[in-house]
Amino acid sequence: MEFSKVPEINETGRLLVRRPDGETEFHELHGDTRVGRAEDMDLVLEDPSVSRQHALLRWEDGAQFVIADLGSANGTWRNGDRIALPVPLRNGDDLRMGSVEMRFLAPRGVHEGHRGASVRETLDATSTMGQQAGEVQPTLIARAPLMMAALELAHQASQSPIPVMIEGETGTGKELLARAIHADGPRADAPFVAINCASLPEGLLESELFGHRKGAFTGASTDRIGLLEAAHGGSVLLDEIGEMPPAMQPKLLRFLQEGEIHRIGENQPRNVDVRVLGATHRCLADEVREGRFREDLFFRLTPIMISLPPLRDRIEDVPLLAGRLLARACRRHERPEIGLSAGALRVLSAYSWPGNVRELENELLRAVAMNPQKEILEEADLSSRILAPEAGSDALESLNSASGSQDSEVPGGGAVGTALTDVDSDTSGDNASLRGALSRFERQHIEDVLEKKNGNVSATARALGVSRGALHRKLKDFGLR
């Protein structure tokens, strides 16, 4: 039997467009492509949030695509940042025009860059925290042993062609880790395509994954390649794979076993070569035991399992993450970088973060947006659910009362001097582990700032918002002087 080959697309880039109604389509980019609501646009987006002439994608110097906003009302966004000037596009970049989302897939052979940092770059950046970490995603920066172990395992897995399953709660960075695994491996220059298995009904999910022929079902007005074909030579992420309908599971299993797909309405199989990555917030082993997930599919998808810890289990990373996410929030709001008082940092570190890193990022985005004139965010600038959460409020109260004796020594009422009690203070009871962890955060934060200021105590005290006397006492307490 001869298999038809997946078509190679060398001369064009592509946009995978997901419209607000959930429908997706591919649009090939031939040279300059004007995008907007007007009928004479090259790519017409019939959505009221899109301007008549919204954006332009231009092929420059025979080397790369560049995107420029054409003065749209709702802006053109790349990877979460609104663009003001023309910017180059890289394979896998997420774009948004109004409420229409899309993903850019670069032409074959022109993948000179890829979105996100590799796992190896992430690990390297973690070990040199005082340096700029390039494009390393803040979510994947870590010092916590659990997270560092997950990143190291991901780096090892990136060099293998076999499937990887990433388990973790919502907001822990599963898709970012999948992208890093792709970027770190031999398929980095090929497409990375992600699909959320929970967001589509069964019939549409099959069409999205495998594609369909014109006339295969009502509404199939053209031939369409599926996302597995679109990722040929690269990687595909099956996000929320635990939500895949039971009827779809044997079809995915057949693809994993045979390496071939059938478009809906076609009898001819097609070879597709992709590296499969999965992600789920569920425990798939439990789903198998409950009969909701096929055992044979589970074993096919899980030769390598990576568990991402929730933020509450890597709480020592909160100051580091907060600093990176705050800087990114400032860039998104097009304002100079600002800081966090130690009081605010203490509150952030004591919160349990049920929404994980995503919740932390949203909290800092809100704080930056609501305090446009501030150079230092204080405790009062945080939202009420962070200041007085039902879970963890006793720990906060204990920390606040314990550090109250030092508050009068801190100008402005918030910085390292108020963050914690002394290292040797009472650590009995349920708060012992939290208090010890926060002490370690505070020590590391002081060390980082002191190093950044080249050991200058006065400059460090000013940066931290504390008096020289308070800082000297902290340095002595922590054995740093």
Mean pLDDT computed over every residue of the chain: 77
- Look up the CATH number of domain 439-478: 1.10.10
94 compared with 18, residue with greater pLDDT: 94
Q: What percent of the chain has pLDDT over 70?
A: 75
- Look up the CATH number of domain 145-307: 3.40.50.300
pLDDT tens for each residue of 287-303: 999 999 999 999 999 99
Q: What percent of the chain has pLDDT over 90?
A: 26
Query: What would you report as the CA-atom Rg of the chain, rounded to the nearest whole angstrom?
Result: 25
Q: Where are the alpha helices (DSSP H) in 375-431?
A: 384-387, 393-402, 416-419
Residue 64 has pLDDT above 90, yes or no: no
Mean pLDDT of 178-205: 86
Q: Of 139-148, 263-272, 308-317, which range is least confident?
A: 139-148
Query: What pLDDT was estimated at residue 437?
Result: 58
pLDDT tens for each residue of 392-422: 444 334 334 333 333 333 222 233 333 322 3
* Residue in 386, 385, 308 with CA at minimum distance from that of residue 340: 386
Most confident segment among 6-20, 22-36, 60-74, 227-241: 227-241
Name every residue whose Cβ is closer than 8 Å to that of residue 36 and which is 6 or more positions away in sequence.
43, 44, 45, 50, 51, 52, 53, 54, 55, 70, 72
Query: What pLDDT was estimated at residue 261?
Result: 85
Note the CATH architecture for domain 311-382.
Orthogonal Bundle (1.10)
- The label of the residue with tokens 């009898």 reads 267
Domain ranges of the chain: 14-105, 145-307, 311-382, 439-478
Q: Of 72-81, 338-347, 457-466, which range is least confident?
A: 457-466
Query: What pLDDT was estimated at residue 303?
Result: 94
124 compared with 477, residue with greater pLDDT: 477
Query: What pLDDT was estimated at residue 211?
Result: 82
Query: What pLDDT was estimated at residue 393?
Result: 40
Q: How confident is the model at residue 120 (pLDDT cuts 50, 70, 90)?
A: low
Using alpha carbons, list the distances in angstroms from residue 222 to 13, 25, 205, 210, 318: 20, 10, 17, 14, 49
pLDDT tens for each residue of 358-375: 999 999 999 999 998 888
Query: What pLDDT was estimated at residue 213?
Result: 75
Query: What pLDDT was estimated at residue 439?
Result: 67
- Look up the CATH number of domain 14-105: 2.60.200.20
Q: How confident is the model at residue 17 (pLDDT cuts 50, 70, 90)?
A: confident
Q: In 247-326, where do the E strands start and end? A: 260-261, 270-271, 275-280, 304-307
Query: What pLDDT was estimated at residue 249?
Result: 94
Query: What pLDDT was estimated at residue 169?
Result: 93
Q: Return the H-helix or E-strand segment holding 55.
A: strand 55-60
Three-state SS string over 132-182 comes to CCCCCCHHHCCCCHHHHHHHHHHHHHHCCCCCEEEECCCCCCHHHHHHHHH
Is 145-307's fold the same as 439-478's?
Answer: no
**What count of residues does the chain have?**
481
Mean pLDDT of 303-309: 94
Q: Of 40-49, 139-148, 159-168, 369-378, which range is least confident?
A: 139-148
